[in-house]
Amino acid sequence: MDQLDFYVILGVERSATVSQVKQAYKRLARRYHPDINPGDRESEAFFRLVARAYETLCDPGRRDDYDMNGIPVSGQPASTVEFQGFDFSSAGSETSVSFDELFSDVFQEAAELRNPAPGEPEQGSDLHGEVSFSFEEAVVGGERRLTVTRLDVCVGCSGSGRRRSSELRCSRCHGAGATRWRRGHMVFSKSCTFCGGKGLLRSRPCSTCGESGIVTRYEDITIQVPPGVSDGSRLRIESKGNAGRLGGRSGDLYITVKVSPHRFLRRDGEDLVLTLPLAIHEAALGARIDVPTLEGAVTLRVPPGTQSGECFRIKSRGVPSPQSGVRGDLVIEVNVVMPPVTDERSKQLLREFGRLHSNDVRKELFEE
């Protein structure tokens, strides 16, 4: 069975990114939205297809399902195009028509029957956003306000796309329950889909949403970020994505947290790691060193003979776990720094030091 091609409708490649899909949707919306084309039923119908294509291709799960299975066939009963016969009443004035012109409407109606409008509830697509925190802010947590552009249920029609009204004659079929058209001398008819073949309407299209049941709105949302959140973490805010159609569940809003790096601290899980430069005499003789932390300086006792690469821990000076709240440790990694030796006195002292400590520090490299 033939299927609508959402990629063709939006005019994008099958490899298009979500950003490219959004750009295509905005471009088409500016041209075909019902508010821009009041009374133009063709533009209105095409915009509904554009919106449906956009919601499908922007949602990874729905896009994968569409790529594999195509569009689900609606369970709505299809109306049938019928050939009504010939009409030669205007034979003297009727101009000739080509084969393509003769059957263009029939082919158009058949295409619509193969791809009827969906009648089942559809889940709304998820939305994605991003917030930024400094390293220190991420450790203690906080909040951000984010303005989200999302599709929401139309208040005017409660998402149905139509508003109740007194019984009126159908404007599409003029109360006949069927629409008729002709090509050349051939006459065709089809049950009116607008009134379901009844010829009467008890509702009218919602002017607020253009019969789509959803409207675009801007919403300020407060994002609560827990203490200890790490760079790249994703937060899920339920039901703050796009609204579903025909009563379908709303999508979710996913927020990615970006954390800027610290100038001398780095994270290892819930631990903070600090590389501490140590002078050679401090490492050899031992020292008491003031070490910076996020809460201020603490004193670290470095024992004599400390080697480069040795690590020390200061308990509970790390990052709190977003799940349990338990803080990690501050891990201090020593880096022994050689001083610049340029004067003769320093060189003499180092030569003397070498004679006093003449053990072979590379002996193990040659042992078998």
Whether residue 54 is predicted with pLDDT greater than 70 in this model: the reply is yes
Paired strand residues for 82: 189
For residues 16 and 19, what is the distance between their CA atoms, to the nearest angstrom?
8
Whether residue 113 is predicted with pLDDT greater than 70 in this model: the reply is no
pTM for the structure as a whole = 0.55
With beta carbons less than 8 A apart as the criterion, state whether 241 and 251 touch: yes
Tell the CATH topology of 1-72. Helix Hairpins (1.10.287)
Q: Which residue has the higher pLDDT, 185 or 120?
A: 120
Selected from 3.90.650.10, 3.60.21.10, 1.10.10.10, 2.60.260.20, the CATH number assigned to the domain covering 265-357 reads 2.60.260.20
Tokens of 122: 């559809």
Helix (H) or strand (E) holding 35: none
Q: What is the pLDDT of residues 203-257, one digit of tens each?
A: 777 888 877 888 999 999 999 999 999 999 999 999 999 998 878 899 999 999 9
Whether residue 2 is predicted with pLDDT greater than 70 in this model: the reply is no
Sheet strand arrangement including 127-133:
127-133, 253-259, 234-237
- CATH number for the domain running over 121-158+214-261: 2.60.260.20
With beta carbons less than 8 A apart as the criterion, state whether 176 and 209 touch: no
List the domain boundaries for the chain.
1-72, 76-120+162-205, 121-158+214-261, 265-357
Whether residue 97 is predicted with pLDDT greater than 80 in this model: the reply is no
At position 329, the amino acid (one-letter code) is D
* Matching fold, domains 121-158+214-261 and 265-357: yes
CA-wise closest residue to 207 among 171, 155, 146: 155
